[in-house]
Amino acid sequence: MREHGEVSDRADSGGPWWRDAVVYQVYPRSFQDSDGDGEGDLRGIAARLEHVRQLGADAIWLSPVYPSPMADGGYDVADYEQVDPRFGTLADADALIAAAHERGLRLLMDVVPCHTSIEHPWFAEHPERYVWSPRDDGPPNNWIASFGGPAWSRDPRTGRWYLHSFYPEQPDLDWRRQDVRDAVAGALRFWLARGVDGFRLDAVDHLLKDSQLRDDPPASAPPVLPEHADAERLEQIHSRNAPDIGGALAALREAAGDTLLAGEVYLPWRQLAPYLAHVDCAFAFELLHAPWEAAAIRAAIAAALQDDSSGEQVAWVLSNHDFPRLPDRVGARNARAAAMLSLTLPGAVFVYQGDELGMADGPGGDPPHDRAGRDRHRHPMRWDDDLPHGDFTVSEAQPWLPAIAVAGGGVAQQRTDPDSILHLYRDLIALRRTLGAGLTFLGEDEGVADGVLAYRRGDEHLVALNLGDEPRPAPSAGRVLRRTHAARTPAGLAAPVQLLPGEGFLAMI
């Protein structure tokens, strides 16, 4: 049986624990190095759990720690039921799970069900588990991989052509086969038996493709969510998101039981119903990619909440290991407002490590580790400016990516500054527990100026954010619970009548 320590399976409201939960994403290679090899590891994560607890998060999500050749940063899995030696051992994983539970934190594993590494033993020993071209002379269709180029490559050992929705080192599994469903379901059960509390499911919109392998037609309009330029040329109606996706997801649901399944489904929210019938929540990528404009942000939020204002099946995300960090995407001036936005929405919110410091992108690796250019989003966590490498690793080690400085300082420095963005995250996470149910937008007839996003949470709380480039009048409100810049209006004072660009407040109505 799993031991949860202080962790309860239900939220205080009586619903599932993930309702309105804050999940902290850990990119293990960049969180904390415990052995001086320049790469983060499981023991390092365990040593830094107190930071996550003090932040107020409910759970941590680990990006993959399985054995991997690292062609795709660990998302090319060579063994679903082991730990890569660079990260530690299964015993270290067990110790991390126990340490998280002792602090009241749940732990989610990242599962990559669409594909494996080409170095997974299955590719040679069970080739029938993968998707192959029925032709001997090449690809059967025009499908494009997510990172660009053809989605088919020739296996030099057999001469056959295999499908890869991502890199050529990541052959796609055939999820219409029962043995594939059983094998991946078995991996979920393996980790559940070790005490994990749920899973983030990677790229599940690519799990099933057209059984007839038909061509994708030319695109008639730009995609709602950004794609690689090659992929944007086609309407991806056959290469992903097959209509019978429910059968594959049902196998994962059965294996997971009542533990959390959070789906990475890279589709517009209106297309997620078949996925939400089986997963507990899905990422709202329209918000992540929305321009930093009040109308666009409002539309993205409304799209995800149109059928359920409680947001119970929404997982909000504004940055992660695949996309530019907040200061680079919305502007450094707006990073605090972005934090207030995400942490006051109804539903679960995922916070990427370093966001709570206002961490920006770095230069990446030289030479690069990731061919798609995502190294710059994955630089090591900044713990203490007074120590070499920001205390990510020992002084004589060379971090796998440079340990870049953060404008507001590391954790140690921001901890002592009550107006730091770290304190903003802590305060907002504590306050979100008190917010009323649902979300109601305010309009111009309620005193909301152009460029300002304002909404009520329940009957008592108001959030107002200036997303524009000029000072704007603030909507009428009572006393402030938290302003993006605490020193300008301390908690308990009357709400300001004007908001500067990048400012906002959470106040009583």
Active site residues: 202, 264
In 306-443, where does DSSP find H-type helix? 326-329, 335-343, 411-415, 421-432
| 401-407 LR contacts (CB < 8 Å, sep 24+) | 401/30, 401/362, 401/364, 401/365, 401/369, 401/375, 402/362, 402/363, 403/379, 404/360, 404/362, 404/363, 404/379, 404/380, 406/354, 406/357, 406/358, 406/359, 406/360, 406/382, 407/327, 407/332, 407/358, 407/360
> By the 8 A CB rule, do 488 and 479 touch?
no
Residues 6+ apart with CB under 8 A from 63: 25, 26, 27, 28, 73, 74, 75, 110, 321
How far is residue 366's CA from residue 495's CA, in Å, rounded to a whole number?
A: 48
Cα(509)–Cα(498) distance, rounded to whole angstroms? 16
Count of other CB atoms within 10 angstroms of residue 479: 12
CA 367 to chain centre: 26
β-strand pairing of 440-441 with 504-508: unpaired
Q: What is the rounded distance in angstroms from the CA atom of residue 443 to the CA atom of residue 400?
A: 49
Q: Compute the CA torsion angle 217, 221, 227, 230 (nearest 10 deg).
A: 50
Half-sphere exposure of residue 313: CA atoms within 13 angstroms, side-chain side: 19
Q: Exposed (0-12), middle (13-18) or buried (19+): which is 22, by Cβ within 10 Å?
A: buried
- 45 vs 54: CA distance, rounded Å: 14
What tokens appear for 29 in the block? 């290679």
DSSP three-state, residue 344 = coil
Q: Which residues, in sequence order, are CB contacts of 90 under 8 Å at separation 6+?
A: 82, 83, 194
